Amino acid sequence: MQLGAHVLRNGLFVAPMAGVTDRPFRTLCRRFGAALAVSEMTSARPELRGTRKSRLRREHSGEAGPVSVQIAGADPAQLALAARLNADEGAQIIDINMGCPAKKVCNVAAGSALLSDEPLVGRILDAVVKAVDVPVTLKIRTGPAPERRNAARVARIAESAGVRLLAVHGRTRACGFRGQAEFDTIAEVKTAVRIPVIANGDIATPEEAVRVLAHTRADGIMIGRAAHGRPWIFREILAHLEGRAAPAPAPAERRAVALEQLQGLYDLYGEELGVRIARKHIGWYVRPLPGGEAFRREANTITSSVAQLAAVARFFDSLHEPQ
């Protein structure tokens, strides 16, 4: 798949997820086969640009390219400036968030709230595309509400503005994450534009990935929550698409991957914050395993990185059979 000057090795994408898709997580997902891992959403508002949280979300030093940074906001000029600043900092792709359903984002008319104002969508996309020389991509939902699905119209606006790729989550803003994603609208979007379309939503297994690709005729799929504590899902999907079987990772591999991610979190965030952020990732890694829920509760009481690493290592060492 061609995206500007970048040739992506496949159509597997990591969804941008606030509080999840930081540099350590993106690095692992890319290693297991994802062609592109989009950063956490960063605000275009000037007063938030210099905060520690925003700086860490833009941290991609040493990361394999292409580096894709997602920006969010509702003001065309602010978003254009944010795009230029991120490109100057090394972003090779700028992604625009028009898909987040969170109230704190939609309450400032950003994220998926923008889908209710198609003229503003056009002005934002025009401004950002003109502001940078790197490819601009867009993440949307299927519309503001089930009775107002307008993803195909928004897709045509995006293509006309010069957006190079579109990812579509198969729910509306009003749906949040409730119910099941639907893919008929994504199939409609695919027929409406010539730019690559990536399908997103409720894809948790290799079999589901194949079904969604067949149903939508999309150019690729984007995985979000299914990769929590399971970055090897991209390896499994690739194998399935190629007609091969991908065995589940043995405890030793799960152990090595989990410990590497934890160390990456400490390196990025520092001791105190790194330990706190690591707790949810530990939970995701261990929950499906024997004794995982009890260990998750125990791990949530650990306050040092050394003790956290040692406890996780002991847990995986106690697993003698592949799960």
**Sign of the C-alpha dihedral computed for residues 86, 232, 164 and 179 taken in this order:** negative
Indicate if 106 belongs to the active site.
no
List, in order, residues 6 or more apart from 216 with CB less than 8 Å away: 183, 186, 187, 190, 197, 199
Q: Rounded distance, CA 151 to CA 188, Å?
A: 8
Q: Rounded distance, CA 229 to CA 199, Å?
A: 21
Q: Which of 29, 100, 106, 175 is catalytic?
A: 100
Select from 11, 21, 26 the least CA-distant residue to 63: 26
Active centre residues (catalytic): 100
